[in-house]
Structure 1
Amino acid sequence: MDIKSILAHYSAFEEKTLSNRFFKHKDIIRLITRLSLEFNVEQLGISVKGKSINAIKWGKGETKVMLWSQMHGDEATGTMALFDLFNFLQKENEIVNLLNESCELLIIPMVNPDGAEMFTRRNAQQIDINRDFLQTVTPEAKILRQARENFNPHFGFNLHDQTTLWSVDGTLKPATLSYLAPAFDKAVSINDVRKNAMLVIADIYQDLNELLPQQIGLFDDEYEPRAFGDNFQNAGTSTILIEAGGYHNDPEKQKIRQYYFASILSGLASIAQKSYTSQRIEHYLSIPKNTKQIFHILIHNVILNGIDVSVGINYDECPNSDGCSTYKTYSIQDIGDLSFCEAYATYEAKNHTLKGEIAFNKLANFSLVMDSVTLVSFENGNLIE
């Protein structure tokens, strides 16, 4: 499959109504009702606040694949990619025919519609759904768990977003995408179920690494007994975690969604063609690990307390009350030798005058000025543009 050629025609199937991360339940319901008759839509249940959670079935093949997104309401990239996938599956081409003949897909977009409404991670009960597999006190967790039991998929795609501060080991570049075959036990063992997930990921990485060189990492595989991916793996569904991270000048993840879609399509093609059976675990294990060696802002050569230092600044992103936008609060996260780090924005402060105070673990509240020209300025944690 020529992923690069498919992405070259992305505008032909991109769902253009989803143009930022803040779309709501009503927006995706509108899109679901417009799907062609080859998609079978079923309401699985409702959220805490009464919003429908729906599953869409497509394909007539023997291999069952379940895909679910937005367990965390503020992690919207996977949902955007799924609606691009719906549009792609309505095109007439060789890969669509292959998937239709080989696979049956069960797709659950927006598992957490109440969280999406306010653009928050947790549901309306303030519970992290992805830490509710064991007790299943939330209706959303019950629905997702029951959907897997009823469908009994061979493979699963667990679609998330990760913080933009993850980097790729040895590259000093953002981890734009991260993959993982979650552990099913504390020993992080490898059985045939987890092995198959690893091999599919190796195929995905082979396709995507050419498009995103040095910007794909392997997520931490520490066992989390409450998480859905770990438990689905244990239940016999080869589960593939995909995380959307950061990409320069792409705050609404419109570029990342293309690579995210390509990851999903590559994985589905690997499963349909069974090409993963020719892969090797070593190729999965050779994917570089995620690290944290990048900042949102890095300022070099700041004279502070009589010494020359670098200053690392990150922001916390929080939703506004309307759930349709966010605000960023910047704080000082490191001071000293940061020559081994990188950032989304880097400044050189040599010969600049510091106005204000730089204090570790405090809100950014300073300016750097030279000849009345401001290099960068913060006021009580706000970046002054």
Structure 2
Amino acid sequence: MVNYSLFKEDSIKGRYVTLAQLQNHFFSKIRSEAIYIGKSVKGENIPAFQFGHGKFKVLMWSQMHGNESTTTKAVCDMIHFLQSEDVLAKHILSKCSITVVPILNPDGAEVYTRINHNEVDLNRDAKDRTQPESQALRKLFKKIHPQYCFNLHDQRTLFSAGNTQKPATVSFLSPSSNVERDITPTREAAMKLIVAMNYDLQELIPGQVGRYDDGFNENCTGDSFQTTGTPTILFEAGHYAEDYEREKTREYIFHALIKGLQTIADNQVNEFSTNDYFKIPENRKLFFDVVVWHANKVNPKFKEGVKVGIRFKEVLIDDKIEFIPEIAEKGTLEGYFGHKLIECIDSKDFGFSSKDKKVLELLQNFDV
């Protein structure tokens, strides 16, 4: 497995990643010339970069949702690797032609929102393509005629890998291409490639890979591209313990990207089994960011014995993402888990981190 520490792009970090940051700190390091595939609603040029000269064409795009930046960081790491003297990198580039769109939704990235400047979710605009960003991606897709597409996203911290107390740190989906969810040859190829990536990830994060529900939605980009006969894979970067900046998760996405490209380059996709795809547990929404027991110890307005489930809202403040706690649920919370558990005896149990202090303040100020 590749030594990730050699290729992490340290100039890009944290949750707030914008096109301006990439332009100022990273694009000058790319030896491939930018290809501008279109403009955003606000007129930002959307760049793509091409690597390699092989027969297998791969198209990948990140930050279709502006507030989903982990895969963008991993893409920067991947580019760093592909431009290195590593033997595997040279092999991949000899067999693959890779086109990368680091940020498809620069307007959304700038203000840290899922939607674009017209308040449209680009991942629900694949059929009508009302937005310039959607049109730019489809035009690029038609120009390249890729054999594989990687659709790169982030997922919320609430997802577990199946009905377990393990977070879905990475999730995948081979989208359906019809309402019946038939396993077409296209879907099958995407499933097998996911299995290849999952094998490597299980060595790094055993039990922390999930699979998304495959209900068909013709408005979703992955489903739409899958329908054209192009194997398309949804990547979802999720939570790793105490990694709210998602610097560890970016590493696992990096390894998945490299394994996926290596499997394509080696023409080994068909050596894997779709049966193993369905062994990957489906995502469940079983996590809170914090679960507090005995909250009545810091505020008597909570009933004795009640557990409080708290989830963080991500808010952009002064070019930094702040995690603001909100009470999501109160009760027995049976069957649910917390990324952090606080068994409250008194206020000292909350620790001294900024997140802990905000949680304590939230509970103390709670009113029925």
TM-score between both structures, scaled by the size of structure 1: 0.87
Q: Structure 1's 334 and 45: CA in aligned 2 closer, same or farther, altered over 3 A?
A: same
| 2:143 equivalent to 1:150 | yes
Q: Is the 8 A contact 2:14 2:246 kept in 1?
A: yes
1:344-359 to 2 correspondence within 5 Å?
344-349=339-344, 352=345
Matches within 5 A, 1:290-329: 290-301=283-294, 308-320=305-317, 322-329=318-325
Is residue 252 from structure 1 mapped to residue 245 from structure 2 by the alignment?
A: yes
Gaps of 5+ in 2: 351-355
Question: Could you list the runs of 5+ residues in structure 1 that have no partner in the other structure?
Answer: 353-367
Residues 169 and 240 in structure 2, CA contact (< 8 A), matched pair in contact too: yes
Paired AA for residue 319 in structure 1? L
Larger proportion of strand:
1
Deviation at residue 291 of structure 1 after TM alignment: 0.7
1: CA distance between counterparts of 2:224 and 2:126? Answer: 8
The Cα offsets for residues 114-133 of structure 1, whole Å up to 9 and x where unpaired, read as: 11111111111111111111
* 8 Å CA contact retained: 1:177, 1:242: yes
Check 1:153–1:300 CA distance in 2 against 1; reply closer, same or farther (3 A cut): same
Instruction: Give the alignment partner of residue 212 of structure 1, picking from 189, 205, 208.
Output: 205
The Cα shift of 1:348 comes to: 1.8
Q: Which residue of 2 aligns with 1:267?
A: 260
Aligned AA (2:343): E
Which residue of structure 2 lines up, in the alignment, with residue 42 of structure 1?
Answer: 35
Note the C-alpha offset of 1:381.
7.1
Give the count of matched residue pairs: 354
Q: What do residues 353-373 of structure 1 show as CA deviations (whole Å, max 9, x unaligned)?
A: xxxxxxxxxxxxxxx55xxx4
2:236 paired with 1:243: yes
User: Matches of 1:64 and 1:291 in 2, distance apart?
Assistant: 33
Partner of 1:280: 273
Would the alpha carbon gap of residues 382 and 169 (structure 1) be closer, same or farther in structure 2, given more than 3 Å must change? Answer: farther
Secondary structure of the 1:43 match is: strand
Q: Are residue 227 (structure 1) and residue 220 (structure 2) matched? A: yes
Is this contact kept in 1: 2:308–2:327, CA < 8 A? no
Q: Is the 8 A contact 2:292 2:307 kept in 1?
A: yes
SS at match of 1:206: helix
Quick one: distance in 2 between partners of 1:214 and 1:301? 30
Equivalent pairs: percent with the same residue? 34
Q: Give, in angstroms, the shift of residue 216 of structure 1.
A: 0.7
Deviation at 1:380, TM superposition (A): 4.7
Residues 1:32 and 2:27 are matched in the alignment = yes
Provide the residue aligned with 1:57 in structure 2: 50
Correspondence for 1:184 = 177
CA contact 1:129–1:140 (8 Å) conserved in 2: yes
Q: Quick one: distance in 1 between partners of 2:312 and 2:287? A: 12
CA distance in structure 1 between the partners assigned to 2:349 and 2:59 by the alignment: 52
Q: Which residue of 1 aligns with 2:5?
A: 11
Q: Deviations over 1:60-88 (max 9, x none)?
A: 11111001000000000111111111110
Deviations 1:80-120 (A, max 9, x none): 11111111011112211221121111111100001111111
> Which of 327, 331, 335 in structure 1 is aligned with 2:327?
331
Quote the offset at 1:317 in angstroms: 2.1
SS in 1 for 2:203: coil
Task: Give distance in 2, aligned partners of 1:296 and 1:307.
Answer: 21
Provide the TM-score with structure 2 as the length reference.
0.91
Indicate if the aligned counterparts of 2:312 and 2:323 stay in contact, CA closer than 8 A: no
Q: Which residue of 1 aligns with 2:16?
A: 22
> Partner of 2:361 in structure 1?
379
Amino acid at match of 1:330: E
Secondary structure of 2:73's aligned partner? helix
Q: Displacement of 1:158 after TM fit? A: 0.4
> Does residue 89 of structure 1 match 2:86?
no
Residue 233 to residue 282, structure 1, CA distance change in 2 (3 Å): same
2:154 pairs with one of 116, 140, 161: 161
Shift of 1:59: 0.8
Cα distance in 1 for partners of 2:210, 2:311 equals 21
1:301 to partner: Cα distance? 4.8
Pick which of 132-141 and 154-163 moved more. Answer: 132-141
Instruction: Return the alpha-carbon distance in structure 1 between the equivalents of residues 200 and 20 of structure 2.
Output: 34
Given the alignment, which residue of 332, 338, 342 partners 2:337? 342
Task: Tell me by how many angstroms 1:383 deviates.
Answer: 9.7
Shift of 1:189: 1.1
2-structure distance, mates of 1:174, 1:189: 29
One-letter code of the match for 2:360? F
Shift of 1:337: 4.7
Q: CA deviation at 1:188?
A: 1.0
Cα RMSD over matched residues? 2.1
**Shift of residue 144 of structure 1?**
0.5
Between the aligned partners of 1:236 and 1:334, the Cα distance in structure 2 is 46
C-alpha spacing 1:269/1:302, structure 2 compared with 1 (3 Å): same
Please tell me whether residue 170 in structure 1 is matched to residue 166 in structure 2: no
Three-state SS of the structure 2 residue aligned to 1:203 is: helix
Structure 1 pair 328/238, CA: closer, same or farther in 2 (3 Å)?
same
Report the equivalent of 2:353.
none
CA offsets per residue over residues 23-80 of structure 1, 9 Å max, x none? 32122124223312xx242111111111110111111111110010000000001111
Secondary structure of the structure 2 residue equivalent to 1:379:
helix
Specify the SS of the correspondent of 2:182: coil
